[in-house]
Structure 1
């Protein structure tokens, strides 16, 4: 990545990170993931603090900045500060404010306290989903779904909940929907049923299950449209997606919710129902 021109905006930097992520070293990838997940912390954090939070040596931040054409960390940090001044409060900022308001440092773990924490964290995550999901991406996804002969949906382990709901919702609006569930270990065989006139919906969160990746790659090789729901712009599925939705879920004591992903699945399903109703009117 020599002779790289420094990005002029945070949006450009994020795009550059996505394009070059696979070429970065292990430590630079750690910084890349931190940068994409917590931009507001990068905006005002010191190299020492950020290094501790990201689990890397301070010099790694300088090397990361240099890799993307900046003279040093301070020059790169200005992009984050500028973006923060122009945009609404970030997801991380809202979480921090919520912790202060609800006293989450309190050791109280009664069911009532847990419910309050989970419900408020999910409310913040759902608000973030509505504010950051691009209308053009929603429209594009619904157009793809409306033109597809059949929808195939894949998601394993935690993501299976979202995938199975998607299949359920699409069937209830009389759409052909097939859950790629790998019964008997037959993911490859189920993926072979994909046709270029179909659509694959892939739901995958870190650490990004190999089963989902293999089905998604099989779809991409057949030029099957791919709608992805994931948790990071550098998810391995993002680069091959026709439409990619990056969803930030609420997290309490390392327990991650699925409320936002399910809300998105519901919005797409009902949005498709409205679109089909207009076409058939």
Structure 2
């Protein structure tokens, strides 16, 4: 039996579990990584039950002891067992058991908590340090693939209001990444990638670092392969009750970086933003509400 099958068994048996066992069962389903990484006693404390309740639940589910349940979860972590399909199965089971609004609430609450972590002192310092580097770069190359592409594109779009020194890689029509060939030590590469990491993103970041181009990373772990390459790393959480990882914290990090870089630009940045606004107005890009008539 794998971890998904165990979770499904717990959900199926949930209505028949005594109150304390149900509390322990919910903790296992909602915190699969903790089951592998924390002691049984600590899990019981966090769940709000006695340690022997965890053992009783294991026996109720057909195991000799709770260590067998922990071993299943540890194996899942080592093997990366819960890919998108596995997570989708777990989400569907949870959605059926808890209901639509409960799942939606949990997804939104998880995102809010993750974004709030960016306000921690270490995260704020990392954002400020990264912005200082990007503000002095001659040209900023922005790289993100798959779910990370939109984050890199958002940063590049905001920075386009400051002039033409920001390049979004992957849009030049020549395989997408040729523009980075001209990057030099006075430039910078903003690379975005979270698990499962894009191999091409890592390859380009490795190449850039080898050319002494400083890399700023937005990634999900201090031990991610992208963090190992980066001069500065912005850590964002991606865990979600959804089958798909959350990119909301990465968007907030990118938008914050762009704002900090703009703020460092002084009068030159303000003038560039003003010119961009004038051009947008001249092209009629945005829909504007009609001016109310004041006369008869």
TM-score, normalising length: structure 1: 0.62
Q: 2:167 aligns with which of 167, 175, 178?
A: 178
SS of aligned partner of 1:244: strand
Q: Name the counterpart of 1:239.
A: 228
Contact 1:182-1:190 within 8 A present in 2 as well:
no
Tell me what 1:138 maps to.
Answer: 127
After superposition, where does 1:25-40 map in structure 2 within 5 Å? Answer: none
Matches of 2:148 and 2:97, distance apart in 1? 31
- Residue 249 of structure 1 and its aligned partner are, at CA, apart by 2.2
Give the Cα–Cα distance (whole angstroms) in 2 for the partners of residues 167 and 201 of structure 1.
Answer: 10
Please tell me whether the aligned partners of residues 215 and 231 of structure 2 are also in contact (alpha carbons under 8 angstroms): yes
| 1:105 positional shift | 7.5
2:99 equivalent to 1:108: yes
Contact (CA 8 Å) 1:204, 1:212: kept in 2 or not? yes
- Corresponding residue of 2:293: none
Query: TM-score normalized by structure 2?
Result: 0.59
The CA distance in 1 between the partners of 2:37 and 2:236, in whole Å, is: 20
Give SS of 1:249's match.
coil
5+ residue gaps, structure 2 = 1-31, 41-65, 79-93, 271-296
Question: Does structure 1 residue 167 correspond to structure 2 residue 177?
Answer: no
Q: Cα RMSD between the aligned structures?
A: 3.1
Which of 46-55 and 170-179 deviates more? 46-55
Structure-2 change in CA distance of 1:126 and 1:184 (3 Å): same
Which residue, 171, 179, 182 being the options, matches 1:190?
Answer: 179
Quick one: which of 42, 53, 71 aligns to 1:51? 71
Q: How far 1:267 sits from its partner (Å)?
A: 0.8
In the TM superposition, residue 52 of structure 1 has moved relative to its aligned partner by: 2.0
Counterpart pick for 1:261 among 227, 247, 250: 250
**3-state secondary structure, aligned to 2:119:** helix
Gaps in structure 1 of 5+ consecutive residues: 1-36, 61-102
**CA radius of gyration, larger in:** 2
Relative distance call for 1:49 and 1:131 in structure 2 (3 A) is farther
Contact conserved, 1:201 with 1:227, CA < 8 A, in 2?
yes
Give me the whole-angstrom Cα distance separating, in 2, the residues matched to 1:239 and 1:266.
Answer: 23
**Alignment partner of 1:227: what SS?**
strand
Classify the secondary structure of the residue corresponding to 1:253. Answer: coil
Task: Note if contact 2:35-2:70 (Cα within 8 Å) is conserved in structure 1.
Answer: no
Pair 233,39 (structure 1): closer, same or farther in 2 beyond 3 Å: farther
Match of 2:198 among 203, 209, 218: 209
Measured in 2, the distance between the counterparts of 1:239 and 1:175 equals 29
Q: How many residues align?
A: 199
Separation of aligned partners in 2, 1:165 and 1:251: 22
Say whether the 8 Å CA contact 2:170–2:177 is kept in structure 1: no
1:278 CA drift (Å): 8.0
Deviation at 1:210, TM superposition (A): 1.4
**1-side partners of 2:206 and 2:117: how far apart?**
29
Choose from 208, 222, 226 the match for 1:219.
208
Match for residue 199 of structure 1 among 175, 188, 202: 188
Aligned mates of 2:71, 2:121 — CA distance in 1: 28
